[in-house]
Structure 1
């Protein structure tokens, strides 16, 4: 990914004062490269939903920060979850299956929406909770005293979730606290209050998760699992079609998604699609069928761009070479 427009609103908030409760990054991933923040704490007190930056990356009543992995294959490889601060384990659960939550299975996870997880108690009434961890991965037990950075387990798909991620909740004396904007009364977009992050964490208003080439428009399930990404390796000069797909998050009504394929003989595809509604996650694809015995040899470059209000929010590029 090559992010062009990134709002650094979180870094504008007042830093945590020395000695105050502070959080370290809780996952072994690089934000904007191997993970992204899909949803923030809902700051709207009514039936609507707004994140701390006045964006739509949340839903009504959401009480935590969701740090998502690109695909199920990334989850299966294993991504470690770490304690964001030193504390005592006051609760844990393991053994729930990693699978997408469905209406049919809703009763089975009722009251256990967090899935496999850990609750840590810290000083001065602070608590952190880590949800949706991988089955069998939890490494701590109730009563353990642990240091910040201790491995708690791995990111999973347990509980009530539709994508592999860590849901991190922060509370003080039982009240939900947004780690990006600690003031409960501050309006969204305000820099009043402080961030709890020990190091600034950038706010990104949507972007690309993955992209790749395929011989056909891939199924959404294959994109989410990571199978579509792996299939690019099987592409040859005799593939029946050349399709560029792009998987993104944080789409807003009116956003423009541009898909371009540049080949050794010029531009093959240059398609633009306008989103008709807000979409938490989505993908778009465009391509061209093979009209001869094979594609010309050389380098093909797929470029996907997300444009909002005339400004490029994000772009992602993928190369493909036919010998």
Structure 2
């Protein structure tokens, strides 16, 4: 990773890393499907109190792969070998600390819970520290049809239910956390039927062939994303591997040593093109870089920035932008605005 002092005016670094195995104001639980009308009146509610694509993202789907090759339900690669659920990620530790609700997907009875496991990245404690409790803090709920919902990695001390409690669909039962075998804050949701893992996106069993075209089990038709881009992070120094999920800032002092914008993504592909820019309050480009990815990666991040100029950064609203391209069909753009003063 490039260090700030090594670049005279602008800095940019590319970091590619594998993720370890896992799994503000609260929005209304209905927000997750607000953009899509209900397609299955008796379906499962989205299990997180956030809006997909805005303040949470699906990081992994159930594995449908054969012969050791991970595939999601549409035969894409948004999964991991042996992955038993749907991972719903939030932006960073700041969002986790503020509280993002975990919601019951359907009416049911709480079978068991586990709490008391600290929210610490597996990169800090090591996988061995989670032996037998990879799910971290969790909840298991049985529904009237016999299906069971499991919620993993919930925040320590946030569980609101107890074994034997009855819950209603949409009720807040906990908050998204970082407990168990994970290095990023997210909810790992698994649906079981007669002991088998069921993918709620097509109703098929784990490791059944992909693109089976089965019934949607969610109440709303949730959009599929072949490339997951998290929101851009603003900071004053190059992010380390251990701090990539720390919250950024919305305000920088003009005397800050540097201005750094970090982009993060799940499941990038060889040949993907990333174009990042920083614009000053007058709209002038202050930093600009393009990069072509040379490998498929489960998790990837890239940062670009500038060192403090003489006299400090210009006061006002700055903008960081990312344009990600995959072939001729997929173009995704995200940006962040922040203030210097």
TM range (shorter): 0.7 to 0.9
Q: Are 1:70 and 2:91 matched, yes or no?
A: yes
Task: Determine the C-alpha separation between the residues in 1 that align with 2:83 and 2:168.
Answer: 28
Task: Determine the C-alpha separation between the residues in 1 that align with 2:283 and 2:55.
Answer: 33
* Residues 136-182 of structure 1: CA deviation (Å, up to 9, x unaligned): 11111111121111221111111111111111100111111100011
Q: Which residue of the other structure, out of 51, 70, 75, is the alignment partner of 1:54?
A: 75
Gaps of 5+ in 1: 1-10
Q: Are 1:280 and 2:298 matched, yes or no?
A: yes
Task: Determine the C-alpha separation between the residues in 2 that align with 1:240 and 1:74.
Answer: 26
Task: Determine the C-alpha separation between the residues in 2 that align with 1:265 and 1:33.
Answer: 25
SS at structure 2 position matched to 1:210: coil
Q: Are 1:211 and 2:232 matched, yes or no?
A: yes
* Residues 69-116 of structure 1: CA deviation (Å, up to 9, x unaligned): 111111111111111000111111111111112496433321211111
Q: Which residue of the other structure, out of 135, 141, 154, is the alignment partner of 1:120?
A: 141
Q: Which residue of the other structure, out of 39, 51, 56, is the alignment partner of 2:60?
A: 39
After TM superposition, list the pairs within 5 Å mapping 1:192-211 onto structure 2. 192-211=213-232
Cα deviation, residue 320, structure 1: 4.0
Q: Are 1:258 and 2:275 matched, yes or no?
A: yes
Task: Determine the C-alpha separation between the residues in 2 that align with 1:216 and 1:260.
Answer: 16
Task: Determine the C-alpha separation between the residues in 2 that align with 1:144 and 1:133.
Answer: 18
- Using the size of structure 1 for normalisation, the TM-score is 0.85
Cα deviation, residue 282, structure 1: 2.3
Task: Determine the C-alpha separation between the residues in 2 that align with 1:114 and 1:253.
Answer: 32
Q: Do the aligned partners of residues 176 and 56 (structure 1) sit closer, same or farther apart at CA in structure 2, a change above 3 Å counting?
A: same
SS at structure 2 position matched to 1:91: strand
Q: Are 1:303 and 2:321 matched, yes or no?
A: yes
Gaps of 5+ in 2: 1-35
Report what 2:20 is aligned to. Answer: none
Tell me if the contact between 1:212 and 1:302 (Cα under 8 Å) persists in the aligned partners: no
Report what 1:6 is aligned to. Answer: none
Report what 2:154 is aligned to. Answer: 133
Cα deviation, residue 281, structure 1: 2.5
Report what 1:90 is aligned to. Answer: 111
Report what 1:30 is aligned to. Answer: 51
Tell me if the contact between 1:72 and 1:225 (Cα under 8 Å) persists in the aligned partners: yes
Tell me if the contact between 1:42 and 1:59 (Cα under 8 Å) persists in the aligned partners: yes
**Aligned positions, number:** 303
Q: Are 1:178 and 2:196 matched, yes or no?
A: no
Task: Determine the C-alpha separation between the residues in 1 that align with 2:171 and 2:233.
Answer: 35
Tell me if the contact between 1:170 and 1:178 (Cα under 8 Å) persists in the aligned partners: yes
Q: Do the aligned partners of residues 265 and 306 (structure 1) sit closer, same or farther apart at CA in structure 2, a change above 3 Å counting?
A: closer
Task: Determine the C-alpha separation between the residues in 1 that align with 2:176 and 2:236.
Answer: 31
- Using the size of structure 2 for normalisation, the TM-score is 0.81
SS at structure 1 position matched to 2:189: strand
Q: Do the aligned partners of residues 140 and 317 (structure 1) sit closer, same or farther apart at CA in structure 2, a change above 3 Å counting?
A: same
